[in-house]
Amino acid sequence: MAYDGTLFHGWQIQVKERSVQEEIQKALKKITGEDIIIHSSGRTDAGVHAENQVFHFDTDKNINEKQWARALNHFLPDDIYIKDSEAVSDDFHSRYSVKKKEYHYRLSTNTYSPFDRHTIYQYPYGKLDLEIMREAAKIFIGEHDFASYCVYDEYGNTIRTLYDFTIEEKDGFFTFKLIGSGFRRYMVRHIVGGVIQVGAHRRSIAYLKELLDSKGEKKCLFKAEPEGLYLMHVHYEEE
Amino acid sequence: MAYDGTLFHGWQIQVKERSVQEEIQKALKKITGEDIIIHSSGRTDAGVHAENQVFHFDTDKNINEKQWARALNHFLPDDIYIKDSEAVSDDFHSRYSVKKKEYHYRLSTNTYSPFDRHTIYQYPYGKLDLEIMREAAKIFIGEHDFASYCVYDEYGNTIRTLYDFTIEEKDGFFTFKLIGSGFRRYMVRHIVGGVIQVGAHRRSIAYLKELLDSKGEKKCLFKAEPEGLYLMHVHYEEE
């Protein structure tokens, strides 16, 4: 599924705020009459987008696997689109079966455009140094305790493996591409936020490394804005 | 100026609805203290966008010509952006001094994307025939009475000159580009709407020509959706 996160308070169902989960569950109720709880590969925060999010659910309703997408799209609002649907085995779980996830972060250093305001972070402070950001990205690759780049959580395991982190630029439009075993809340936005500071020559690569190595003692204080972030792919197979 | 027309009821000030004109006049009031009426090159309708709209106003406030853009952007909402500002002579009028206008219409025949829903018309009925649409476009070029492709208006002059009408396509994204002496209300959307019908092989080029030649007797009933339409350029100089 794809969704434009602009008008959602995030993935997870909320009491008063609009959420992606609630919209889908409401659509499923209309199709099946059942009170279905859906499970995604993970949450996304308010304003964050998905190009290819995955969710699963259990149902007694007998509909052809490919027809679920069409039926859901009929009832869903226009900022959510189900791209495909298929039947899965009982041991599949959208969250626990994940092998890798890929996030992209889109940023522009060009003149402000009102058309991009919800879908690209429009960096307003001038140029960014692509080469030094690419160097900075390297320090995050591999298995690390990312506690300094996550939301504080006393109990959670903050060790993750980042398999790849590349940055592309074309005509002032930057795309940061991160592939990892998983990402904790705000982790991509803190990593990208730190790398942007290096690209602006406001912080050094050594400083980002020092934060990382402190394993939560020293927190990254830079968090990139939500509108640039996209969940691009969820991989369930080892490649 | 550029504006994303999605959340506006159009350019022209309304009693209860949000308009681009009102937002700018409110910003000018904050800057100058004056009740300024602004004049654009023309109106745009609800949901229609502008990449380069032009407006003028008179003021007693003495601000450097280039500083007006920055001052306005400070007070304007994020779906409007003033790109540039300059002082003009008293005989310049944003509307009456116009020599040519260029509109673009953006359309996609690809799978629905929630990210494009306000900025591209996502044509849901399959492929379109580019070559026959290019042939259809030719019948509109030149000076014509476009009454069949405008809103009905007993008194208005519906004769306009279309200087150029080209259609480009890349990977299922189409851009219709029209340059003319001026365009009446809904005129671009009716012309593009008719050409789309030809591209879908639902109507013939001869049918569009018959409508045009009837000078208002037979109306074009196809009107392309507003979200694909952009005012791209307003020309004040003969080229």
B111 and B18 within one domain: no
How far is the CA of A12 from the CAs of A62, A190, B115, in angstroms? 27, 21, 20
If asked whether residues B110 and B166 sit together in one domain, one would say yes
How far is B128 from A108, CA to CA, in rounded Å? 33
Domain annotation covers residue A91? no
A77 and A114 together in one domain: no
A76, A108, A115: best to mutate for the B interface, most B CBs within 10 A: A115
Q: What is the pLDDT of residue B238?
A: 73
Q: Round the CA-based radius of gyration of chain B to a whole number and report it.
A: 19
The answer on pLDDT for A93 being more than 90 is: yes
Instruction: Note whether B76 and B117 are same-domain residues.
Output: no
| Residues of chain A above pLDDT 70, percent | 98
Binary contact (A115, B80; C-beta < 8 A): no
Residues A108 and A71 in one domain: no
pLDDT band (50, 70, 90) for residue A156: confident
Residue type, B101: K
Residue A107 CA, chain-centre distance (Å), reads 15
**In Å, how far is A237's CA from the nearest CA of chain B?**
25
> How confident is residue A239, by pLDDT bands cut at 50, 70 and 90?
low
For the segment B95-119, what is each residue's pLDDT rounded down to a tens digit?
999 999 999 999 999 999 999 999 9
**What is the number of domains present in chain A?**
2
Does A166 map to a domain? yes
Task: Check whether B153 has a pLDDT greater than 90.
Answer: no
Within-domain flag for A224 = yes
ipTM of the complex: 0.88
| Residues A124 and A76 reside in one and the same domain | no
Task: Examine residue A87 and state whether it is found in any structural domain, yes or no.
Answer: no
Do A113 and A154 share a structural domain? yes
Amino acid in the structure at residue B80: I
Instruction: Give the Cα separation of A104 and A230 in Å (integer).
Output: 5
In the 8-state DSSP scheme, what is residue B214? T
Q: What is the 3-state secondary structure (H, E, C) of A119-155?
A: CCEECCCCCCCHHHHHHHHHCCCEEEECHHHCCCCCC
Q: B187-199 vs B205-213: helix axis angle to the nearest 10?
A: 150
pLDDT over 90, % of chain B: 95
Average pLDDT over residues A64-85: 97
* Confidence band for A238, pLDDT divided at 50, 70 and 90: confident
| Predicted pLDDT at B239 | 62
% helix / strand / coil in chain B, to the nearest 5? 25, 25, 50
Confidence bin at A153 (pLDDT 50/70/90): low
Contact (CB, 8 A) for B63 and B26: no
Least confident of A95-99, A106-110, A130-134, B11-15: B11-15
- How far is it, in rounded angstroms, from Cα A178 to Cα A155? 25
How far apart (Å, rounded) are the C-alpha atoms in residues A133 and A169?
Answer: 11
Decide if A93 is inside a domain. Answer: no
Average pLDDT along chain A: 95
Report chain B's mean pLDDT, rounded to a whole number. Answer: 95
Question: What is the rounded distance in angstroms from the CA atom of residue A126 to the CA atom of residue A109?
Answer: 6
A160 has which bridge partners?
A144
The mean pLDDT value for A155-171 works out to 94
Of B30, B47, B81, the position where a domain reaches its end is: B81
Residues of B within an 8 Å Cβ radius of A: 2-4, 49, 73, 78-81, 83, 111-115, 117, 119
Q: Is the pLDDT of residue B155 over 90?
A: no
> Domain ends where: A81, A109, A142?
A81
Question: Which chain B residue's Cα is nearest to A78?
Answer: B114
- Please indicate, yes or no, if residue B58 is contained in any of the structural domains: yes
Q: Is B174 helix (H, G, I), strand (E, B) or coil?
A: strand
A237 versus B70: which is more confidently predicted?
A: B70
Q: Does residue B124 sit in the same domain as residue B199?
A: yes
The CATH number for A9's domain is: 3.30.70.580
Q: What mean pLDDT comes out for the span A30-35?
A: 96
Confidence label for B64 from pLDDT (cuts 50, 70 and 90): very high
Cβ-nearest to B78 among A78, A114, A119: A114
Per-residue pLDDT at B191 exceeds 90: yes
Look at residue B28 in the predicted model and tell me its pLDDT. 97
Which residues of chain A have a CB within 8 Å of the CB of B111?
83
* Same domain membership, residue B163 and residue B75: no
What DSSP designation does B173 have?
E
What pLDDT is stored for residue A15 in this prediction?
86
Mutate to test the interface with A, among B79, B81, B113, B115 (most CBs of A within 10 A): B115
Question: Does the pLDDT at position B154 exceed 70?
Answer: no
Query: Residues in chain A whose beta carbon is closer than 8 A to a beta carbon of chain B?
Result: 2-4, 49, 73, 78-81, 83, 111-115, 117, 119
Q: Is the pLDDT of residue A56 over 80?
A: yes
Which residues from chain B sit within 8 angstroms of residue A23, using beta carbons? none
Helix B130-138, helix B187-199: angle, nearest 10: 140
Catalytic (active site) residue A145: no
Range of the domain at A14: 2-81
Give the separation between CA B31 and CA B85, rounded to whole angstroms.
15
Confidence of residue B14 (pLDDT cuts 50, 70, 90): confident
Query: What confidence category does residue A161 fall into, taking pLDDT thresholds of 50, 70 and 90?
Result: very high
Assess whether B75 and B112 both reside in one domain: no
Count chain A–chain B contacts defined by CB atoms under 8 A: 38
Q: Which of B208, B184, B159 is nearest to B44 (CA)?
A: B184
The band of B189, judged by pLDDT with boundaries at 50, 70 and 90, is very high
Q: Per residue, what are the HEC states of chain A?
A: CEECHHHCCECCCCCCCCCHHHHHHHHHHHHHCCCCCCEECCCCECCCEECCCCEECCCCCCCCCCHHHHHHHHHCCCCEECCCCCCCCCCCCCCCCCCEEEEEEEEECCCCCHHHCCCCEECCCCCCCHHHHHHHHHCCCEEEECHHHCCCCCCCCCEEEEEEEEEEEECCEEEEEEEECCCCCCHHHHHHHHHHHHHCCCCCHHHHHHHHHCCCCCCCCCCCCHHHEEEEEEECCCC
Coil/strand/helix, residue B40? strand
Is the Cβ–Cβ distance between A46 and A14 less than 8 Å?
Answer: no
- Tell me the CA end-to-end span of chain A in Å, nearest whole number: 22
- In this predicted structure, what is the pLDDT of residue A154? 63
CA A127 to each of CA A107, A111, A208: distance values in angstroms, whole numbers, following the listed order = 11, 11, 20
| The domain boundary residue, chosen from A24, A48, A81 | A81
Same domain, B121 and B231: yes
